[in-house]
Structures are given as C-alpha cells and as structure tokens.
Structure 1
C-alpha cells in the first residue's frame, strides 16, 4: 500500500482575529470608499463535492491504468498558435486523423488534411526509436525515443511517445510515497495525489488531479529532475467504452518542447489486438532524412 501524507490547501485561506478584520473594514465604511463588485456562482450551478480517501483515489487511478491496454481512435487534432504542431499543419484549420496505441510502448498517429484526406504527418514510436514522416515538407525524422535535446527547428521536436504519456498511465506502485491534499479554486474543488521519487532527496514525479464533482481525473502533470514540469495533460468529457470510461477531449502541453496540442476523440475502440505491422513506418525514396542524435546531420538515402 502506498504511504501518503494528507495536506489541506485552500485559496485565500488563513484566519484572522475578528478585531483585526474590523480595523481593516471600518475605514472603508467611514470614508465611503467603493468596494469592488464580487461575482459569485449561483448556488444551483455549484455541484456538491464528493468525498474520497487517498487509498480510494489510488485504487481508482490504478484500475483505470490497468483497464486500458490498446487504443484505436479517430481524432480531430487542433493546433495551438506558436506550437510545433502548428508549424506542421499551419495551413489547415484542423486536421483529422487516427491514433493506434498498444501497451507497453507502441503508438502511431496519422494526421490528414480535411476534405482531401492527404497525410500531413505520420509518426510512430516503439519506446526505443521514433520515426516521423512529414509529406508536405518531404522530411523523415528518426532517432532514439529518449533523445530530448531541443532542435534548432521546432518541427524536429515532435515526439509521438509524448502523446503516449497522455493515453496510457503507469500504475502507482505499492510502497511509494504519495501526498494527498485538497485544492480549492472556487467554484472548482479538487483532490490532488502527488507521487514522490528519490530516497535521500525527494522530488515530485507526478501530480494527479481529481475533480470532486464526480472524482474523474481532470489533470496529470509529469515532472523531471529538479522540479521541471515536463508535461501538462488535461482531460474532459469522460464517456464509457468497452466497460471502461475514457476521456474524449485531451489537451497536451510540453512547455520546454513547444508542444501544445488539443485532441478530440471522435471514434474509439479499446483493448483490441493491433497487428505489429500497423506500427511500421519506413522512409519513402527521395525523402530528406534527419537522424536525431547523430549531430543533427541531414542525409538523403
């Protein structure tokens, strides 16, 4: 069982003695100073917050992590201005495509231009190597999946395995230290599980946010060494599929890689076996080949 520590956090918390509050308010009343208008949410629109323990939330998270083994989805990809993906598909308002993913580490994502269904990008990863083909630029990028050094050209920062982090979750292992807290940002209320790593020096590895209106997972944050925020992933519109609930709306942001991507799932099949050849991607003849991790030199086969 995971060890956990309960923390409680609320915005604008802190209690002051009543006489201190009167001293602060009285000059305003006497001078007739204007007080800023406060906007509140009508009580009918505020849903009651559900209660849960840390153990219950950990069990719920692990159950979801175990339940999803493969994904076959039709998607709409919405680029965000200034991001690497918008550099690839900047001439299109949106891109429709497909995502294939299978545990432990296989993923393929194909993006197509609207109407003509012409491929805009095609990328795969097996956890060891990534491959990305960008037909409009006649460019094929490949390299080790662990290669993370930012490239001079933002387009070369694309990594399909980053999306895999948003689709599949690792389980919280027994014995790990997990902090448990409440976080209130009225009218929203959350539970937050914070997974720590390390022994002598503890660091944040992952934060998991639960919306207390229904205890669905609404946000996952991944951290690297030194508290560096690696990925910010948000989830919405959870719906049932194959006896499992899965989000239909995913936002992925990689702040240090210029990644900002919105994915809307329009069709979803879970836990079906996906043939290995569907994850194969080879460079076409005559394409510009960029090998990341080898001096960033470009070659032509």
Structure 2
C-alpha cells in the first residue's frame, strides 16, 4: 500500500539560491499534467521527418558515422511500432545506414561494413561491438509516448534546479509493496512542456533518457500549424499538433547517445507499407544478432 501514501502527494526538492536567478514558473496540478501529456501522446499517428543526427563520441552511432560530425537523414514512423531511419552522408547523400523495425524484428543495413543485421526487438543485451547495439525502435519511443492510464499509480514532485523549475511525474508499475518506477516525465515550468522522459526497465534500471527542446507548431493534413515557437500552455489548454524540434537520446545500457534535430516535419499522413520494408542486399553478410551467429549470404 506504499503507493497510496505517495500517489497525489507533491515532493519538493529545494536549494537556496538568489530569487532573481529562478525563472518565473507556471502552475499545474497532477491531473492537468497527466491530461496534457496524454493529449500529446494521442496526437501523433504517423511522423515523416527530415533530420540532422549527431552521435556522441564512443556511442554506437559514432562507430557507423565516425568520419562525419553530423549526418542528414529521414525518419518515418507509424503507430504502434513501425519505424524506418536512414542516415546519409553530407553533400553526396549516400546512405550510411538504413534501419527498420516492425515491433517484432529490427533490420539494419550498414553499407560501409557490407553487413545486414537482424534480430528480435526484445534483444537488449549489449555487445562489445557498438555497431551491433543500434536499434531503430529506441528512436520510436522518443516520438510515440505511452499514455498514462487511470489505473497506473503516479507521484508528483516539484524539482528546483536553478535557474529552472520542473514538475516530475513518476509513473509506477506493480502492486502492493512491489511497486517500481516505469517512467519519469519532466515538465519545464517555464512553459509546462515536456522537457525530459526517462524510461526504466526491471529493478529501476534506466533504459532511456530522452531530452526535448524547441517545441513548435506542425503542419498536418488535419490542422494548420506554423513554424513559430509554440506558446506557453499556462492553463494547459489543448494546443493541437506541436512537437519538439530537438531530441537527445541516451541509452546507457547499450552505449547509445544521439542528438536529433528536426528540419522538416509532417504528421498524420498515410505512409505506404512498403516504405517500412528493408530487404537484405545481395552480396552482403547476414549478422543474426538473435542467434549470435554470422553467416554469409550471396
């Protein structure tokens, strides 16, 4: 019954700092924050984006794009679990990597290595070869959020990290005395937009740490947006189709760090199924990560 004592309570972390150093903060309660998050989670059905991707040194991506500081690319995604990510070399536009996931299996083609990687999406063990830790579905969870259901225990915190202030919603799983954290959602109180999403595995293991910035309006087939910065949602009124233009994705268990900047974005347009198809090119080496074996394929 631990969560009964915690759910709905606000925990405040404070530090003594000059009042002038703290940014003005907007107010919201737990119900408003959950509603705002769920509206955003429900707003996006498909995504079609042009992006700039910057790997962190030592990460899985840096092993693929080691000669480039930044690469261009495209991301296609459709709920619940379809995603394709293509990274291209600057100027010449040749593919550096091409990867897809359908929620069951991921497939990754790396032309410079002449390798075609396949494996089950639930395969999360890290390998000594950083390239084999690439997973397209890890980007999917940054774009498509899981809604907070009414049955999930939630704890609200107020966190002060001068000059910023945050609300943090911790979403729990389990029951009775066996509760553990599943997600932690951070809202920047300067505008009440989500600024960070942390996703946890069993035993409180941090699997994903995703930061968001530069929320803007988006053009879609069903609504008109604009490229001006999104206005503050002080009273958390519904603001249709806004989306962050900057992501930073960290996967500490797989040495996975990647910054993604969106340069062009469209929502909720139909995407043909074949856009998510990736077949093994002839003459490449098949690397079956699920089996832990490599076998050549003509």
Give me the TM-score of the superposition, normalised by structure 2.
0.88
1:184 deviates by 0.5
Alignment of 1:58-137 (within 5 A): 58-137=34-113
Mapped pair 1:210 → 2:194: no
Deviations 1:80-111 (A, max 9, x none): 11101011000112100100000010000000
Task: Return the match for 1:252 from 249, 254, 265.
Answer: 249
Task: Return the match for 2:166 from 165, 190, 194.
Answer: 190
Mapped pair 1:271 → 2:274: no
Alignment of 1:134-283 (within 5 A): 134-200=110-176, 201-241=178-218, 242=220, 243-283=240-280
Task: Return the match for 1:10 from 9, 13, 19.
Answer: 13
For residues 129 and 293 of structure 2, the distance between their equivalents in structure 1, rounded to whole angstroms, comes to 11
For residues 298 and 214 of structure 1, the distance between their equivalents in structure 2, rounded to whole angstroms, comes to 52
Question: Is 228-237 or 242-251 further displaced after alignment?
Answer: 242-251
For residues 166 and 43 of structure 2, the distance between their equivalents in structure 1, rounded to whole angstroms, comes to 23
For residues 242 and 94 of structure 2, the distance between their equivalents in structure 1, rounded to whole angstroms, comes to 32
Deviations 1:169-188 (A, max 9, x none): 01101121000110001110
Deviations 1:252-271 (A, max 9, x none): 00001010000000000011
Query: What stretches of structure 1 of length at least 5 have no aligned partner?
Result: 14-37
Work out whether residues 284 and 296 of structure 2, in 8 Å CA contact, stay in contact via their aligned partners in 1: no
Query: What stretches of structure 2 of length at least 5 have no aligned partner?
Result: 221-239
Name the SS of the counterpart of 1:169 in structure 2.
Answer: coil
Work out whether residues 15 and 160 of structure 2, in 8 Å CA contact, stay in contact via their aligned partners in 1: no
1:273 deviates by 0.8
Question: Corresponding residue for 2:281?
Answer: 284
For residues 168 and 128 of structure 2, the distance between their equivalents in structure 1, rounded to whole angstroms, comes to 36
Name the SS of the counterpart of 1:5 in structure 2.
Answer: coil
Question: Corresponding residue for 1:35?
Answer: none
1:295 deviates by 2.6
Name the SS of the counterpart of 1:219 in structure 2.
Answer: strand
Runs of 4+ in 1 over 2 A off after TM superposition: 2-5, 295-301
Task: Return the match for 2:33 from 33, 57, 80.
Answer: 57
RMSD between superposed Cα atoms in Å: 1.7
Larger Rg: 1
For residues 100 and 54 of structure 1, the distance between their equivalents in structure 2, rounded to whole angstroms, comes to 33
For residues 75 and 154 of structure 1, the distance between their equivalents in structure 2, rounded to whole angstroms, comes to 22
